[in-house]
Structure 1
Amino acid sequence: MTTNADVSTAASVLSVRNLVKRYAGQPVLSGIDLDVAEHEVVVLIGASGSGKSTLLRCVNLLEELDDGQVFLDGVDISDPRVDADVARRAMGVVFQAFNLFPHLSVVDNVTLAPRVVHGVSRELAEARALELLDRVGLANRARSYPDRLSGGQQQRVAIVRALAYDPRLLLFDEITSALDPELVGEVLALVRELAGQGRTILMATHEMGFARQVADRVCFLDGGVLVESGPPEQVLGDPVHERTRQFLRRIIDAGRL
């Protein structure tokens, strides 16, 4: 018999089922269920420590699950028999820190994974890298080293690196949190462009205004529980749960919504 859950899993790029993660016996994620459809932008919100980053790391198999499953295009990639490195190749990840290799030029940072992991020739990898860098206004910095770039430029390079092998799913973890306020806009503009191109994105952010503009769906996490999920105008404008309302009141008081 085919259940609704089976149908949802098959139709989604990403499906998370009953995901549980503990650290030192303490629950960090408690039975998370989440689907991300093709071309959908799903934004995770919540206070620091709510489980957003851990969820993204579990999806990318950087953390071992204590229970539950992660499906990518209907395949259970959390199955121990699945090669995690192969599964990760379908996902592009950008973290809070830029994580660029300081001894490599911008173009070498972008082409490293396509050449070494995916077996793309240097010529083809560089052509793709230069095309992407041109799209984000950094073609003239291709031979520069990361320490010659601003924080916003470095984060844009990190996003280009994640795009270089055309991943099925993009995972963004608070990618503006390490930036000065004046640099946040240029990075969010790039994410907005990617969303407009139909990229499938799961991202954690504290930028509520951006979430309202770009997200197809907003998910509020609290204490490792997915408390509320829905369109941004509902979750951010008329939340159902009191815990969501409390969180948003604090955000409003801080001037971030």
Structure 2
Amino acid sequence: MVLSCQDVRKTFGANVVLDGLTLDVGEHEVVALIGASGSGKSTLLRCVNLLAEIDDGTIRLDGEDITDPRINPDAVRQKIGLVFQSYNLFPHMTVLDNITLAPVRVHKRPVAEAREQAHEWLKRVGLADKAGAYPDRLSGGQQQRVAIVRALVNNPRLLLLDEVTSALDPELVGEVLTMIRDLKGDGMTMVLATHEMGFARQVADRVAFLDKGKVLEEGPPAQVLGEPVEPRTRQFLARIIEAGRL
């Protein structure tokens, strides 16, 4: 098991965000997290990447308890890529410099090696001609693909994607989803929080519906999205269908 979350609890003051959540992610598996805003999707991803400290439970990466206080969080984050919906690219740095910053500064890789790998990824995602461009010269879809490449050049064991299409114009969503679909084909292990139900149906091996900080229902996309068992899941999906998003 690449990722194992057991009885994870996280509170912010009196607000219980994760309430004994349990979720496993296997090798090469893509798990889509769905649920209403506030259900705990983004908080779970931040806890897995150790950007938020859990209050109880355990999170294991390849069997190692990464929530053990003795663990070096920076060492763990080198194994996990996290991509946010807001890109978070440095505006004063070129695309190439954004991508190579962590490999060179954090991982101490030779500059030439980091740049070569960055160019290879940019070519692969159709952005070979954008290496010297600044983020404000790119479309939202291009910026998000650069943000994903920035996570991939560190060769992560696990890739976390937090609503990576929600900030994009509808016509730009497809190019990002195509990239993620290609990563699945490469065997990348991924956990993605998404409101794109059609995409979850196409790319996920398993869908987990979160409600009030718990995994209320999980299973193959066809089952969870097509024939949900739990009334709350059916209610959520009915609203998604009404909004034309399924």
Query: Quick one: which of 86, 93, 100 aligns to 1:104?
Result: 93
Q: TM-score, normalised by structure 1?
A: 0.95
Displacement of 1:26 in angstroms is 1.8
Displacement of 1:25 in angstroms is 2.3
Q: Which runs of 5+ in 2 are unaligned?
A: none
* Residue 44 (structure 1) aligns with: 33
- Quote the Cα distance in structure 1 between the aligned partners of 2:100 and 2:15: 40
Q: TM-score, normalised by structure 2?
A: 0.99
C-alpha contact 2:125 2:145 (8 A) present in aligned 1: yes
CA deviations over 1:197-226 (Å, ceiling 9, x no partner): 110000000000000011000000011111
CA deviations over 1:94-146 (Å, ceiling 9, x no partner): 00100000111000000000001111010000000000000000010000000
Matched, 1:248 2:237: yes
C-alpha contact 2:22 2:214 (8 A) present in aligned 1: no
- Cα RMSD, aligned residues only: 0.5
* Residue 26 (structure 1) aligns with: 15
- Quote the Cα distance in structure 2 between the aligned partners of 1:227 and 1:179: 29
Counterpart of 2:62 in structure 1: which amino acid?
D
CA deviations over 1:19-75 (Å, ceiling 9, x no partner): 000011221000011111010000000011111000000000100101011100000
Q: Which runs of 5+ in 1 are unaligned?
A: 1-11
- Quote the Cα distance in structure 1 between the aligned partners of 2:98 and 2:28: 27
* Residue 9 (structure 1) aligns with: none
* Residue 13 (structure 1) aligns with: 2
- Quote the Cα distance in structure 2 between the aligned partners of 1:45 and 1:81: 32
Counterpart of 2:10 in structure 1: which amino acid?
K
Deviating beyond 2 angstroms after TM superposition, the runs of 4 or more aligned structure 1 residues are none
CA deviations over 1:153-211 (Å, ceiling 9, x no partner): 00000000000011000000000011111101100110011011110000000000000
* Residue 180 (structure 1) aligns with: 169
* Percent identical: 66
After superposition, where does 1:61-100 map in structure 2 within 5 Å? 61-100=50-89
Corresponding residue pairs, total: 246
* Residue 160 (structure 2) aligns with: 171
Q: 1:236 is paired with a residue of what secondary structure?
A: helix
Counterpart of 1:64 in structure 2: which amino acid?
E
Matched, 1:221 2:210: yes
